[in-house]
Amino acid sequence: MSAPRLEIDLDKIHHNARTLVEQLGNRGISVTGVMKSSLGSPEIARTLLRAGVKMLGDSRLENIEAMQQANITASMMLLRSPMISQADKIVTVTDLSLNSELGVIRMLSSAAKAAGRTHGVVLMVELGDLREGIMPADLNDTVRQVLCLPNIALKGIGTNLACHSGVSPDAKNMSELSRLADSIEAAFGLTLDIVSGGNSANLDWALSCTNTGRINNLRLGEAVLLGCEPLHRQPIEGLYTDAITLIAEVIESKAKPSQPWGEIAQTAFGIKPPAGDRGNMLRVILALGHQDVDPDGLQGPNGIAIIGASSDHLIIDSGEFRLKAGTEVRFQINYSALVRSMTSPFVAKVLTHTSKNRLL
């Protein structure tokens, strides 16, 4: 089989999504399945929908279009604040978008009017992580102006934490979002359908807090695909952490010195020789590099250590293992490695099903 490749186990992804949809459903929270690290794969999208996600979300229009061309009819949420240059397309291919700029929403309004459509808007609120969001003090004023715009439906409010500054979702910032939802409803006499509390980083809070307040939606990508939460990168109980794995092939395997020789200057990507001379060691090269994956996000089998990487080569210390050329090595990946390898044209994507031989 071709290498490098990602093996994507749709049954494990289904299990992860189903488990989270049920656990959050018990707490009144629906799930938007986030597709942005899956390049709009229709098979992954269908797997998430079968598992009960309410709608699909993506940060890129190209992925949303790819899903629609594959006849996926679910509601599509644009996660990244819209570019004005894409306003016409956004109102035709998505149902709603997360927004924080009034000027952009005005352009969406004219585009929606021209297209004879209504576009849903979720206003993002800044609650401390300092990426996208309207400052809470400016929210009422923005709502007032959005409500005047033709062909725009105010669907709700949301926030995004733990992405830029690592601010954890907790009782304090989540109850602030609930309070803002209540206050908008009271001030304008309307109902907000969606109060979207955040991403995979919200799971700790959502599944352990005593009161989820008004939060009724989370947008989940990493937790579903990798089975781990992004705050401390710990596995989530009951989920598979190996639904997606990366396989690479050995192209050189030799006993060589542990230390380089000659005059030492810069390396291509900063390969560090291991500290201390250990004499000869088994050095193995895999056909895998920065063009395929984020090498820092790889975890190899026990007993194998990654020494360094350049554009096309990954050098490992294979310890006790003699891995001759042609051998395949399987890696666990983190979110950064997942995003890079999913979007690399050099990495094959192979969909698999465990359920053929194992009950889920």
Ligand X SMILES: *Cc1c(COP(=O)(O)O)cnc(C)c1O
Contact yes or no for 222/241 (Cβ under 8 A): no
User: Measured from the CB of residue 196, what is the shortest distance to ligand X in angstroms?
Assistant: 8
**Nearer residue to ligand X within complex by CB, 56 or 288:** 56
**Nearer residue to ligand X within complex by CB, 230 or 289:** 230
User: Measured from the CB of residue 113, what is the shortest distance to ligand X in angstroms?
Assistant: 26
Only one of the segments 65-73, 208-216, 219-227, 307-315 lies at the binding site for ligand X (rule: CB under 6 A); that segment is: 219-227
Distance of CA 313 to the CA centre of its chain: 26
Contact yes or no for 163/124 (Cβ under 8 A): no
User: Using CB under 6 A, which of 33, 230, 289, 297 touches ligand X?
Assistant: 230
Among residues 12, 36, 54, 155, the one annotated as catalytic is 36
* Residue 199 binds to ligand X (criterion: CB under 6 A): yes
Q: What sign does the CA torsion over 13, 19, 24, 26 have? A: positive
Site for ligand X in 91-130 (CB under 6 A): 98
Q: Mention every residue, 6+ apart, whose C-beta is less than 8 A from residue 33.
A: 17, 45, 48, 49, 51, 53, 55, 56, 57, 220, 221, 224
User: Measured from the CB of residue 69, what is the shortest distance to ligand X in angstroms?
Assistant: 22
Site for ligand X in 131-160 (CB under 6 A): 160
Question: How many residues are present in the chain?
Answer: 360
* Residue 34 binds to ligand X (criterion: CB under 6 A): yes
Residue whose CB is nearest to ligand X in the complex, by number: 221
* Residue 339 binds to ligand X (criterion: CB under 6 A): no
User: Which two tokens mark 61?
Assistant: 């229009």
* Residue 79 binds to ligand X (criterion: CB under 6 A): yes
Q: Does the annotation count 36 as an active-site position?
A: yes
**Nearer residue to ligand X within complex by CB, 202 or 253:** 202
User: Using CB under 6 A, which of 36, 54, 290, 313 touches ligand X?
Assistant: 36
**Nearer residue to ligand X within complex by CB, 106 or 131:** 131
User: Measured from the CB of residue 163, what is the shortest distance to ligand X in angstroms?
Assistant: 7
* Residue 221 binds to ligand X (criterion: CB under 6 A): yes
Contact yes or no for 93/76 (Cβ under 8 A): yes
Measured CA to CA, the distance from residue 311 to residue 268 in angstroms comes to 8
Measured CA to CA, the distance from residue 155 to residue 303 in angstroms comes to 51
Three-state SS string over 189-236 comes to CCCCCEEECCCHHHHHHHHHCCCCCCCCEEEECHHHHHCEECCCCEEC
Q: CA-based angle 29:30:31, to the nearest 5?
A: 125
* Residue 178 binds to ligand X (criterion: CB under 6 A): no
Contact yes or no for 223/200 (Cβ under 8 A): yes
**Nearer residue to ligand X within complex by CB, 38 or 68:** 38
| Residue 200: C-alpha distances to residues 158, 161, 240 (Å) | 14, 10, 15
**Nearer residue to ligand X within complex by CB, 6 or 223:** 223
Only one of the segments 103-111, 205-213, 222-230, 267-275 lies at the binding site for ligand X (rule: CB under 6 A); that segment is: 222-230
User: Measured from the CB of residue 128, what is the shortest distance to ligand X in angstroms?
Assistant: 15
Q: Mention every residue, 6+ apart, whose C-beta is less than 8 A from residue 133.
A: 100, 124, 125, 126, 127, 159, 160
* Residue 54 binds to ligand X (criterion: CB under 6 A): no
Give me the 252-291 binding string for ligand X, x by CB under 6 A, dash otherwise.
----------------------------------------
User: Which two tokens mark 181?
Assistant: 């939802």
104 membership: H or E segment, kind and range? helix 102-115
Name residue 78's beta-bridge partners.
Answer: 58, 97
Binding stretches for ligand X (CB under 6 A): 34, 36, 59, 79, 98, 160, 199-200, 219-223, 230
Give catalytic residue positions: 36
